[in-house]
Amino acid sequence: MIELKYFLMLTLWKVAAALWLCFFNVNTDGFKAIWRAVKLHRHHCQVSLTRRIRIHPTPSSAHASLASNDIDVWNIIKNEYNRQVSGIELIASENFVSNAVMEAVGSCMTNKYSEGLPNARYYGGNQYIDQIEVLCQNRALSLFNLSKLEWGVNVQPYSGSPANFAVYTALLKPGDRIMGLDLPSGGHLTHGYQTSKRKVSATSIFFESKPYKVDPVTGLIDYDQLATLALDFKPKLIIAGASAYPRDWDYARMREICDSVGAYLMADMAHIAGFVATGYAHNPFPHCHVVTTTTHKSLRGPRSGMIFYQLLLGEAINNAVFPALQGGPHNHQIGTFSLY
């Protein structure tokens, strides 16, 4: 209707302008004024049309591009993209994903709910979700050369921190003891960080944590000190892994220490997973009960997490992820880090 009204008005204006010019011999300033009035009218028509679309979104607006749907968000994303490509990022946790990852993470996989595990969901419509999760599990296991007879993997953790907390929930009781590398020595918050005044991480709120440290002179992990501390503290879980420890790990020695006190050994290889996969870093799998990782650092995937577990621990780990800690998995992420 608005287009028709606009067309009729325009025609009327044009006829009036032509008559005016022919019969009254007005100068061209008058003609310009008429043309400005036409343009103003056209602008008003467009504005009211846009308002109508905003108030009553049509199916076609759901398919519109981000730029035409929300220019404010589009502008901020464009600015962030320009910041990323025109600067140098020196943040160890970050990486740049490929266009394929961007495409898959923004796909229809984001629409689906799928609580449960492949072939054991709580509702329908999961045939392709199951396929992508199984593909993801298979590729994750083969990336680290793991046999399905010994290892399983849960690919549903939303990120590295929830993956770690799921392991604690699965293997420990509230108040049980854990040991991780101290945060000032390069460890991660989720490995139990606390100060004398504050229990900073949820790990230290719900479990009793004692850190081991690097030697202040060499900067290397003092495994002898760890062994002595562990004998005294008797942790139920010891964590190998760090956010800022630029040396490799002696997993065999750590397993020895764990065995001496009856503790589980967990490796959090979030930062070095890419090096483990390619053989440039020691392999934690032959020594650990559980290995966690993020997928967005050296694996260069979308932001997510994984827990690799020895099969005997599978039920406890899977139950800790869902239903204990999480709800529906983020299928757009799972689908995306299945990508080669």
Per the annotation, the verdict on 122 as an active-site residue is no
Smallest gap from residue 204 Cβ to ligand PLP (A): 15
Count of beta carbons in the 10 Å neighbourhood of residue 316: 16
- Closer residue to ligand PLP, CB minimum distance, 229 or 240: 240
Q: How many CA atoms lie within 13 A of 330 on its CB side?
A: 16
Cα(195)–Cα(204) distance, integer angstroms: 10
Per the annotation, the verdict on 295 as an active-site residue is no
Q: Tell me the residue nearest to ligand PLP as measured from the CB.
A: 160
Cα(39)–Cα(42) distance, integer angstroms: 5
Q: Which residues bind ligand PLP (CB under 6 A)?
A: 93, 159-161, 188, 190, 241-243, 268, 270-271, 294
The tokens describing 35, both together, are: 């043309």
Residue type, 303: R
Per the annotation, the verdict on 128 as an active-site residue is no
Q: How many CA atoms lie within 13 A of 220 on its CB side?
A: 8
Marked catalytic residue, from 294, 295, 309, 336: 294
Marked catalytic residue, from 133, 297, 309, 336: 297
- Closer residue to ligand PLP, CB minimum distance, 291 or 339: 291
- Closer residue to ligand PLP, CB minimum distance, 24 or 96: 96
Cα(266)–Cα(159) distance, integer angstroms: 17
Whole-number Cα distances in Å, 265 to 51, 176, 251, 260: 60, 14, 9, 12
Smallest gap from residue 53 Cβ to ligand PLP (A): 38
- Closer residue to ligand PLP, CB minimum distance, 93 or 283: 93
Per the annotation, the verdict on 294 as an active-site residue is yes
Smallest gap from residue 189 Cβ to ligand PLP (A): 8
Comparing C-alpha atoms, which of 246, 248, 251, 298 is closest to residue 270? 298
Smallest gap from residue 160 Cβ to ligand PLP (A): 3
Which positions are annotated as active-site residues?
A: 113, 115, 268, 294, 297, 303
